[in-house]
Amino acid sequence: MPITEFLEKNAKEYGNEISLVEINPEFKPESRITWREYSLMQPIPGEPLRRELTWADFDKKANRFANLLLSRGLKKGDKVAILMMNSIEWLPAYFGILKAGAVAVPLNYRYTAEEIKYCLGKADVSILIFGPEFTGRIEEICDRIPKVKQLFYVGEDCPTFADSFENFIVFCSSKKPKVDITDDDYGAIYFSSGTTGFPKAILHKHRSLVHAAIAEQKHHLQQHDDVFLCIPPLYHTGAKMHWFGSLISGGKAVILKGVRPEWIIRAVSEEKCTIVWLLVPWAQDILDSIDAGKINLEDYKLSQWRLMHIGAQPVPPSLIKRWLKVFPHHKYDTNYGLSESIGPGCVHLGLDNLDKVGAIGKAGYGWKVKIVDEKGEPVKKGEVGELCVNGPGVMTCYYKDEKATAEVLRDGWLYTGDMAMEDDDGFIYLVDRKKDVIISGGENLYPVQIEDFLRKMEAVKDAAVIGVADPRLGEAAAAIIEVREGYTLTEEQVNEFCTELPRYKRPHHIIFADIPRNPTGKIEKPKLREIYGSKGLVAQQIEK
């Protein structure tokens, strides 16, 4: 069945119950209201703005948008892009696109105008719905996106080059449109993170979306009374597919617009959240705030919080051990996946495997995994190779890119580009991205291993290791280290700590600086290479 049927089921069974809550801690009631619905909320001065939506209204809003799209000539299989910040409107818009039989194309809210233009063209988008934060970027390209025939603007003060979403949707029927959708219909195009150039368009069918929902519920056992706190961007498969577990169970989800530690803890307490998915930096910031006395856990009601899980990037074991000392009653899970495998869940640690913290786990529900060498042959346990996954969530293809598709899809297996190894118990450990491996003096260095080691230092908040040119070794490891607030750290101290590493693994360069991460928590190593790599600061030091 298509993913839309879960929403319709919830509307029938839990129609008057809350499906979504939006909390905006930075909303200032004295400022100009930018959303018509906000003016009806009568916000309390000094308090976060809170909006909520029932399952019945969620379904009606999705139906209205579907019927609006169909009234504008949209045909089954057409592409509709979403460019909005996380909000209570985001998911109804997404499901409206699906209900119309169209393909949803979520866009990264950090894209530049030119990246937006590229993605709209790459995905053959014919309709775009966007929010007020993007008016300038869309105005810059609106006369250079000929395939896009319709622009819908969500908010007040609609620009002249777009139609007001709110002005038109009120006249549309809230009944389910008469469009037949099957598991084999295309449902969504997600874009890769673009860490190696322009992002690739990843095409998925409805069966991928449904399997993501089923796998998430199987892994984390969401029940109807669970409350999921959603913080990461909804344009990414990670946040949305974890929320799909709430969709299956008909549970409430809270969309928090902000990542400050005190906002997260307050939302968990006041909304009685039971499940929270965090990125590594946010978990670190929460623990640092608790250590610094900025958050007093006794001021909050957190006993109902049963699960904290992390994904989207390698997770330092030291972070989880530290977390479980503060929250010993929490279940914990690591989730591994790619947009090409419909997000997290193709590999996961499992809720009862704390002795294996540091591993990404075993094959997820309905998935198969293998680790292979350069010839595609399985490697022995304990040996490093490329991780491959196979299952119902594997993408159909990179849209309009046969060459790139052939490089990663072979006989139904998705070659992830991640280097991994399997231990004697069958648990898989990420070693690094294939393209990030450093070859130094003929030895393979895996940056993730060095990064995990460096994060064991109490003063280290974050660490990233990249390869830089070296006249003798070919490449050498450079460690960029972000120091925790209130701590000091010297190059000599780092070098002394690294004497526990084999000599060939020790960083040759130590740099103290902030470490950039993208919205899904991944370290932006291309940016670090640009700053410190072949033409950067380290190269200048070598030349001197």
Question: What is the set of domains in the chain, with CATH numbers?
Answer: 55-206 (3.40.50.12780), 437-543 (3.30.300.30)
Residue 238 has pLDDT above 80, yes or no: yes
Q: Check the CA dihedral 502-504-508-511 and report its sign.
A: negative
How many Å apart are CA 238 and CA 228, to the nearest integer? Answer: 13
How many Å apart are CA 475 and CA 110, to the nearest integer? Answer: 32
pLDDT at residue 418 in the model: 87
How many Å apart are CA 74 and CA 127, to the nearest integer? Answer: 9
Residue 529 has pLDDT above 60, yes or no: yes
Q: Which of 474, 450, 475, 485 is nearest to 464 (CA)?
A: 450
b/e map 417-438, b = 16+ CB within 10 Å: bbbbbbeeeebbbbbbbeebbb
What is the mean predicted confidence (pLDDT) over 4-24?
A: 97
Structural contact between residues 152 and 162, judged by C-beta atoms closer than 8 angstroms:
yes
Residue 30 has pLDDT above 50, yes or no: no
Which residues are within 8 A (CB) of 61 and not within 5 positions of it... i.e. 6 or more apart?
A: 53, 89, 92, 96, 169, 174
What is the mean predicted confidence (pLDDT) over 131-155?
A: 95
The amino acid at residue 471 is P
CA atoms within 13 A on the CB side of 68: 29
pLDDT category at 317 given cuts 50, 70, 90 is confident
Tokens 């038109």 appear where? 168
pLDDT category at 419 given cuts 50, 70, 90 is confident
How many Å apart are CA 461 and CA 481, to the nearest integer? Answer: 8
How many Å apart are CA 129 and CA 132, to the nearest integer? Answer: 10
What is the mean predicted confidence (pLDDT) over 135-158?
A: 94
- Which tens digit of pLDDT belongs to each residue from 174-191? 999 999 999 999 999 999
Residue 460 has pLDDT above 60, yes or no: yes
- Which tens digit of pLDDT belongs to each residue from 184-210? 999 999 998 654 457 899 999 999 999
b/e map 268-282, b = 16+ CB within 10 Å: bbebbbbbbbbbbbb
| 524 against 102, higher pLDDT | 102
CA atoms within 13 A on the CB side of 77: 2
Q: C-alpha distances in angstroms, 427 versus 323, 364, 423?
A: 22, 12, 6
How many Å apart are CA 193 and CA 235, to the nearest integer? Answer: 11
| 269 against 28, higher pLDDT | 269
pLDDT at residue 435 in the model: 74
Residue 37 has pLDDT above 70, yes or no: no
| 299 against 237, higher pLDDT | 299
Structural contact between residues 317 and 452, judged by C-beta atoms closer than 8 angstroms:
yes
Structural contact between residues 465 and 479, judged by C-beta atoms closer than 8 angstroms:
yes
Residue 256: strand pairing partners: 23
What are the start-end ranges of the H helices in 327-432?
Answer: 402-408
What is the chain's alpha carbon radius of gyration, rounded to the nearest angstrom? Answer: 24
How many Å apart are CA 483 and CA 491, to the nearest integer? Answer: 12
- Which tens digit of pLDDT belongs to each residue from 350-377? 998 989 988 999 999 999 999 999 999 9
C-alpha torsion angle, residues 362, 338, 5, 56 (rounded to 10): 110
Q: Which of 415, 317, 419 is nearest to 359 (CA)?
A: 317
Which residues are within 8 A (CB) of 260 and not within 5 positions of it... i.e. 6 or more apart?
A: 25, 285
What are the start-end ranges of the H helices in 296-356?
Answer: 317-326
Percent of the chain at pLDDT exceeding 70:
90
Q: Which of 485, 442, 483 is nearest to 462 (CA)?
A: 483
Q: Is the pTM of this model over 0.85?
A: no
Structural contact between residues 151 and 162, judged by C-beta atoms closer than 8 angstroms:
yes
Report the first-to-last Cα separation within the chain, whole angstroms. 64
For 246, the token pair is 């709430």
